Amino acid sequence: MPVVSLKNLVKNPLSVLSDVSSAKSEIDFQPETFDAHVMTTYGRFPVALTRGEGCRVWDSEGLEYLDFVAGIATCTLGHAHPAMIDAVTQQIKKLHHVSNLYYIPEQGALAQWLVEHSCADKVFFCNSGAEANEGAIKLARKYAHTQLNIADPVIITANASFHGRTLATITATGQPKYQKNFNPLVPGFHYVPYNDIQALEAAIAQLNAEQPRVAAILLEPLQGEGGVNPGQADYFQRIRQICDEQKILLILDEVQVGMGRTGKLWGYENLGIEPDVFTLAKGLGGGVPIGATLTKQHCDVLRPGDHASTFGGNPFVCGVALSVCQTLAQQTLVANAQARGEQLRAGLATLVSKYDDLVEQVRGWGLINGLVLTSDQAIDIVRAAMSEGLLLVPAGPRVVRFVPPLVVSAAEIDAAVDKLDRVLSQIAD
């Protein structure tokens, strides 16, 4: 298979043109060549996925898998969904990128959809979850400086949280393994145990002892990477009260749980509260790179020059994300996430009683669920499931995570539970 190279380009521009069309149709994949050129920042499974449809994907050898990873809770509509194909095609033909120097109608329409369907009043668009959280952190700091007169603001986050991989967001992330070797970290963060209201109240009292310093509390409604650990409603309701009383911003990281994943459109609906600010990314574009920071009016403090992104909110990603949102609503996929999630938890609960030496518990909301193991075997179970044609992803060493596309069918849920049953029976032997 011919390969496009810079050398070719310089030597013979015409030959490159023909190379481009053939390279597009099929890329010759060799793991050794890949590893020779791509930084080894990921521990990858020895599989290259090359095609997908609905909740199924195929690898370069033609083997089929049931995809309960969905690009880590990202492919909301699964693979090759007609609505996405249509939106991508229409938008690329029309206009794909300009700049925020100009009004972008698709960006406005997506922001309007999000505002009309959530508690937020305004939206800023970026390209990823980490960036969405960076935007929220900057917003909270400016709010503290300009509205609360705090010179040295602190943001409280939780142990076992995950907020991204930029310097500020690994600092916000309450897990030392993501911070190791990247000192000095960003100042202004303080950690508390999750779902522990006494610890939070004590931390606020201590930080605010001399003068007010706490600007915001940043939490996931359900901790995803940290082990699929749902937030408790009474914990979040008390936090909401504290934030109202002390003018502290409540920021929710909905990067993994937003967009219908939990069987409600937003994760916070499971907790009976509204945040002041929340962030989105993964499921928002169904797989095109987009993130968003959403805020209520009273803390909408960012002004021209404060924050920006070259790619953020471009016509391409916003056109596609809008069609993902509309499809979610038209095909009642949030209700599907609720129903299929209940079915999955019931199926997994039977495995918990059948293999009680291996599996401790199933927990989650809608279509984000974790199987909690009795020992650190998550990666072994994920590998074995892959051999059975089922894609899963660990959430820490002891939890296997299930985050299929929201279009998943009842038959596909049953098939996944059957495959996992075979995997656990092999491991139990």
Ligand X SMILES: *Cc1c(COP(=O)(O)O)cnc(C)c1O
- Residue positions annotated with a catalytic role: 162, 253, 282
Query: Which CB sits closer to ligand X, 283 or 319?
Result: 283
8-state DSSP, 231: P
Stretch that binds ligand X, among 37-45, 219-227, 309-317, 356-364 (CB under 6 A): 219-227
Q: Which residue has the tokens 């500020």?
A: 168
134 binds ligand X (CB under 6 A): no
CB of 127 to ligand X, least distance (A): 8
Nearer to ligand X, 321 or 423 (CB): 321
d(CA 427, CA 429): 5
Which residue's CB is nearer to ligand X, number 52 or number 129? 129
Q: Which stretch binds ligand X (CB under 6 A): 6-14, 188-196, 248-256, 358-366?
A: 248-256
Residue carrying the six token digits 């907790």:
271
Given a contact cutoff of 8 angstroms between Cβ atoms, the answer to whether 73 and 46 are in contact is no
Q: Which of 19, 67, 225, 412 binds ligand X (CB under 6 A)?
A: 225
The neighbour count for residue 363, using CB atoms within 10 Å, is 18
CA distance 286 to 406: 10
Instruction: Encode 305-328: b = buried (16+ Cβ within 10 Å), e = exposed.
Output: eebebebbbbbbbbbbbbbbbebb
In the complex, least distance from residue 2 CB atom to ligand X, rounded to whole angstroms? 34
CB of 295 to ligand X, least distance (A): 17
Cβ-proximal residues to 174 (8 Å cutoff; 6+ apart), any chain = 157, 158, 159, 160, 161, 191
Q: What's the closest the beta carbon of residue 349 comes to ligand X, in angstroms?
A: 25
CB atoms within 10 A of CB 26: 10
Identify which range of 152-160, 217-225, 331-339, 356-364 contacts ligand X by CB under 6 A: 217-225
Nearer residue to ligand X within complex by CB, 153 or 224: 224
In 3D space, the residue among 417, 420, 382, 387 whose CA is nearest the CA of residue 398 turns out to be 382
Contact between 118 and ligand X per CB under 6 A: no
CB of 162 to ligand X, least distance (A): 5
Q: How far apart are CA 141 and CA 138, in angstroms?
A: 5
Among 107, 171, 256, 262, binds ligand X (CB under 6 A): 256
Q: φ, ψ for residue 166 (rounded to 5)?
A: -75, 170
**C-beta separation of 108 from 96 below 8 A:** no
> Taking the complex as a whole, how short is the minimal distance between the CB of residue 364 and ligand X, in angstroms?
14
Applying CB under 6 A, which of residues 68, 143, 162, 191 lies at the interface with ligand X? Answer: 162
Examine residue 163 and tell whether it contacts ligand X (CB under 6 A).
Answer: yes
Segment holding 383, helix H or strand E = helix 378-387
Part of the chain binding ligand X (CB under 6 A), chosen from 156-164, 294-302, 345-353, 412-420: 156-164
Asked whether position 401 contacts ligand X by CB under 6 A, the answer is no
b/e string for 178-199 if b means 16 or more Cβ within 10 A?
beeeeeeeeebbbbbebbebee
Q: Rule CB under 6 A: is residue 345 a binding residue for ligand X?
A: no
Q: Kindly state whether residue 325 participates in binding ligand X, applying the rule CB under 6 A.
A: no
Count of positions on this chain that bind ligand X (CB under 6 A):
15
Identified binder of ligand X from the candidate list 67, 106, 134, 253, rule CB under 6 A: 253
Beta strands in 339-380 (DSSP E): 359-365, 368-373
Q: Which residue is nearest to ligand X (CB)?
A: 129
164 makes contact with ligand X (CB under 6 A)? yes
Report which residue type is found at 56: R
Among 77-85, 220-228, 326-334, 398-406, which window interacts with ligand X (CB under 6 A)? 220-228
Which positions from 54 to 93 touch ligand X by CB under 6 A, shown as an x/- string? ----------------------------------------
170/358 with CB nearer ligand X: 170
Calpha distance 253→231 (Å, rounded) = 12
Determine if 130 is a binding residue for ligand X (CB under 6 A).
yes
Q: Which two tokens stand for residue 403?
A: 């985050």
Decide the pairing of beta strands 399-402 and 393-394.
antiparallel
Least distance CB 296 / ligand X (angstroms): 20
Q: Which of 289, 291, 318, 310 is nearest to 90 (CA)?
A: 318
List of residues contacting ligand X (CB under 6 A): 128-130, 133, 162-164, 220, 224-225, 253, 255-256, 281-282
